[in-house]
Amino acid sequence: MTKTVCVLRSGGEFGPDHVRWLARQVPGLHCMSDVHVSGVPNIPLRHRWLGWWAKMELFRPGPPHDLLYLDLDTVVLGDLAPLIDAAGGRTTLLSDFYRPAQPASGLMYIAHADKAKVWRHWCRSPAGHMARASTTACWGDQGILRQVLGDGVQRWQDVAPGQVVSYKAHCRRGVPAGADVVCFHGNPRPWDAKQSWVPPLC
């Protein structure tokens, strides 16, 4: 069984409205959060890791579900079932849209079998990992995943070519045919992009 999830850590630029916006695009979406989000099934965060580091709770022990994770600034244009099928039950990350050798974590399929080793590595020293993951070679949560899972982890661009695209890199002249997911990494955020294919925030 695959559960579709997002993560909201309060105190940043994202809030419950952004979760509900994504949930309107993704039926059955669950949200891991430290605040209640009405209308969306909530999974409480247990730790106070700030910003993107809250995503590490995706790997904590729990029910034996594989997870399909989406960043809150993601536009879903098609059915996610073909992406889940393409992952084939294996952990799948993005290739960074500008540095393809490096992984990115805006859209992840997380196989339950991989959670424990990531969690063990992370829990040895969360503060130490956060301090060290600040270079090009190891940047943020995706840098930690690269350390644990290696460069051989499969990528969406290989298993589902053309289905996951970047707004900045691929959509300035419209969404490419066949794209089901558009990743908005950085600015503009989807609701600021003024594109007819982006659902309104409210």
pLDDT digit string (tens) for 93-133? 999 999 998 999 999 999 999 999 999 999 998 888 888 76
CA 99 to chain centre: 17
Top-confidence residue, 89 or 50: 89
The whole-number pLDDT of residue 135 equals 61
Read off the pLDDT of residues 152-182 as tens digits, 9 standing for 90 and up. Answer: 899 999 999 999 999 999 998 899 999 999 9
The whole-number pLDDT of residue 143 equals 84
Spatial contact of 196 and 99, defined as CB atoms under 8 Å apart: no
Read off the pLDDT of residues 28-78 as tens digits, 9 standing for 90 and up. Answer: 999 999 999 999 999 999 999 988 899 999 999 988 999 999 999 999 999
In this prediction, residues 124-151 reach a mean pLDDT of: 80
pLDDT for residue 137 is more than 80 = no
pLDDT for residue 138 is more than 70 = no
4-8, 78-82, 141-145, range with the lowest pLDDT = 141-145
Give the residue among 10, 175, 159, 156 at the shortest CA–CA distance from 76: 175
Round to whole Å and give the CA distance between 145 and 40. 28
The whole-number pLDDT of residue 31 equals 98
The whole-number pLDDT of residue 75 equals 98
Q: What is the CATH number of domain 2-72+80-150?
A: 3.90.550.10
SS (H, E, C) the chain: CEEEEEEECCCCCCCHHHHHHHHHHCCCCEEEECCCCCCCCEEECCCCCCHHHHHHHHHCCCCCCEEEEECCCEEECCCCHHHHHHHCCCCEEEECCCCCCCEEEEEEEECHHHHHHHHHHHHCCHHHHHHHCECCCCEHHHHHHHHHHCCCCEEHHHHCCCCEEEHHHHCECECCCCCCEEECCCCCCHHHCCCCCCCCCC
The whole-number pLDDT of residue 127 equals 87
CA 104 to chain centre: 9
